[in-house]
Amino acid sequence: MIAPAVQDPSDRTRERRRPDAPIVVGVDGSSHGQAAAHAAISMAWRLSAPVVFVYVRRGPASFLGEPFHQRRLAAEMLAGRRALDDALTTAQRVGVRAGAEQLAGRPARKLVEFARLRGARMLVMGPRRRRFGGSVSRRVIADADRPVLVTGAPTPVA
């Protein structure tokens, strides 16, 4: 394979080169999020790049009141920590440098902002579809300013 010989004119406007630019991947504890994490780890391993797993929780509704709000929040944070720990364990098993972040807010917006702030070379998403309001993947694709990899659906477990 011959490498591209011509530099794109738009390169002048691009971010300064960062050899450690990570691959940012959204995980949510689902099988789709796990598929995204595995794809990101695989890509990071092949590119010798670090990977950052991001779990975005929407946060419980404030009208729940105490103590229900606090309990729901604690449960969401625990779910996020488990999803991130699973992904980190997998990355460490194959020797890929990895980090994890838990954020609060709208998933698509937070992922796009985080990728921009970290100078990510790529965003990785699962293909999960929502019944109403469109998928997070679609919104990320519409708003991202860097390549977005959307994985295929995970293979059903027989």
Partner 1 sequence: MGALEEGSAAPRSIVCGVDGTDESRDAALVAATLAHALDARLILAYVAYGSPAGLRQEDAIATCTTSLVALAGALGLDDAVLRVAFGDPAARLLALCEEDQAALLVVGSRGRSALATALIDAAATRDDGWRVPVIVVPRHSRQPLVPATLDRVAALPSGRSCAASSGPSSSRERMPSLR
Please tell me the distance from the alpha carbon of residue 115 to that of residue 22, in angstroms, as a whole number.
9
Q: How far is the CB of 58 from partner 1 (least distance, A)?
A: 21
Q: How far is the CB of 77 from partner 1 (least distance, A)?
A: 25
Residue closer to partner 1, measured from CB, 74 or 153: 153
Site for partner 1 contains 59 (CB under 8 A): no
Tokens at 105, concatenated: 């807010």
Closest CA to 101 of 116, 91, 111, 90: 111
Q: What DSSP assignment string belongs to the chain?
A: -PPP-S--GGGGGSPPP-TTPPEEEE--SSHHHHHHHHHHHHHHHHHT--EEEEEEE----GGG-TTHHHHHHHHHHHHHHHHHHHHHHHHHHTT--EEEEEEES-HHHHHHHHHHHTT-SEEEE-----SSS--HHHHHHHH-SS-EEEPPPPPPP-
Kindly identify the residues of this chain, within the stretch 95-114, that bind partner 1 according to CB under 8 A.
Answer: 95-97
Residue closer to partner 1, measured from CB, 42 or 102: 42
Residue closer to partner 1, measured from CB, 5 or 62: 5
From residue 34 to residue 53, the character string flagging contacts with partner 1 as x (rule: CB under 8 A) and all else as - is ----xx-xxxxxxxxxx---
Site for partner 1 contains 144 (CB under 8 A): yes
Site for partner 1 contains 93 (CB under 8 A): yes
Residue closer to partner 1, measured from CB, 60 or 90: 90
Contacts with partner 1, residue ranges (CB under 8 A): 1-8, 10-11, 13-15, 17-21, 38-39, 41-50, 90, 93-97, 116, 119-122, 127-129, 135, 137-138, 141-142, 144-153, 155-156
